[in-house]
Amino acid sequence: MTQHAPLSSRITQINGGGSDGWDHFRRARAMKESGAPVIELTIGEHDIRTAAPILQDMHRAAKAGHTGYADIPGIPILRETVARRMAENTGVPTTPDNILITPGGQFGLFAAHLAACDEGDRALYIDPYYATYPGTIRSVGAVPVPVQAKPEFGFQPQIRDLEAAVEGARSLMINSPNNPTGAVYSPATMDGIAGLCQAHDLWLISDEVYDTQVWDGEHITPRALPGMLERTLVVGSLSKSHAMTGSRIGWVCGPEPVIACLEDLTTHSTYGLPGYIQEAAVFALNQGPAFEADIADPFKRRRQITMELLAGQNAVKASPSQGAMYALLDIRATGLSGEDYAARLLDDELIAVMPGESFGAAAAGHVRVAFTIEDAVFRDAMTRLLAHAGALST
């Protein structure tokens, strides 16, 4: 057999020579596909599908013939709609020239880092983190540098820890509301981050895909802070706010010259995305805040269920679940790591959660629970999880 030519180190080292963090999820999914009645509390996938009127509008647009190449930076009406929504929600003047439409928020994160970092640059991100963050940074040739946000501070990043890691960095990525912790960064945290970025001439990449899911506190976009408009790239998406995960509609919002360069990137990579999906995105955004609140409401209810159940026991502790569709549970009283406890829970109770270690060192000894199944089933699963952890902790 002829050996293929060597692959680039960039493509073979996306995961840094280790796991991508999804091994436990794959094991649980394989068990479910083999017929085991596994309850999945793993990924941030809504238990409802995309609303029928949005799909009907997508069908209308496709039948109308909008199936060819669409404008590379996004169709004008969608860029206008996203810009208007951002201006209304944040108070920051935003124009279509500040918006690039991307195939999902994940490509937006990739594009933002490609704009901010040259090969070999240090790119900071907060640990705990969404599992793709370090691989995204490696994919653009930059060096991922995690900075821990510790449980004893409610997973709010501390500026002194960022200062200790900032030397030689070109960018910092944050995510508030945060996946996996549910933390919503406080005004003091955001002001400190803004000051750090200005003092060290950093690009700030702000992943704001959970901006419609805030249960306690206030979502603050760093674009609105003094001195940050010209050094912030915001990544957004309809995946979480409108239950459109499979439609792959996201955006990057930033200074006009950056967006113009990212349009060049799009031309040489994805070449845009389907016009009929973009038209459906316009329809979805025009449903307004009440529609977004309806999409978020099940997660708010299940967060409340979680808090009520946690109050009735003392084996498991929760970080402040202030936003997003998750709770990060401290199971260290069991004497197990997050990975070992998740494996025991899956084997003993057929309940699948994500080990905290999948999201970084700061989440070790925790498991992440997603609020993504029907209320009654969720309540039963959480009750069983807490009883299981309690038995191990006695």
Neighbouring residues of 86: CB distance < 8 A, sequence distance ≥ 6:
92, 94, 98, 99, 234, 236, 253
Give residue limits of the domains in the chain: 9-49+290-393, 68-287
Q: Report the pLDDT averaged over residues 33-42.
A: 94
For the chain, the average pLDDT equals 96
Neighbouring residues of 368: CB distance < 8 A, sequence distance ≥ 6:
180, 326, 327, 328, 329, 353, 354, 355, 356, 358, 359
How would residue 20 be classed by pLDDT, with cut points 50, 70 and 90?
A: confident
pLDDT over 70 at 3, yes or no: yes
Q: Is-same-fold flag (9-49+290-393; 68-287)?
A: no
**The whole model's pTM is what?**
0.96
So what's the pLDDT on residue 2? 67
Q: Which residue has the higher pLDDT, 5 or 18?
A: 5
For the domain spanning 68-287, the CATH number is 3.40.640.10
CA distance 272 to 38: 38
Range scoring the smallest mean pLDDT among 16-25, 166-175, 290-299, 377-386? 16-25
Q: Report the pLDDT averaged over residues 15-28.
A: 83
**H or E stretch covering 80:** helix 76-90
Structure tokens at 166: 């900032």
CA distance 258 to 132: 23
Range scoring the smallest mean pLDDT among 3-17, 108-122, 361-375? 3-17
CA distance 316 to 144: 32
Q: Report the pLDDT averaged over residues 17-23.
A: 78
pLDDT over 60 at 1, yes or no: no
**Cα radius of gyration (the chain):** 21
- Give 149-188 pLDDT, tens digit per residue: 999 999 999 999 999 999 999 999 999 999 999 999 999 9
- Give 241-278 pLDDT, tens digit per residue: 999 999 999 999 999 999 999 999 999 999 999 999 99
Angstrom CA distances, 236 to 266, 326, 385, stand at 17, 18, 33
CATH architecture for the domain at 9-49+290-393: Alpha-Beta Complex (3.90)
So what's the pLDDT on residue 60? 98
Q: Which residue has the higher pLDDT, 184 or 3?
A: 184
The share of the chain scoring above pLDDT 70, in percent, equals: 99
pLDDT over 90 at 296, yes or no: yes
Length of the chain counted residue by residue: 394
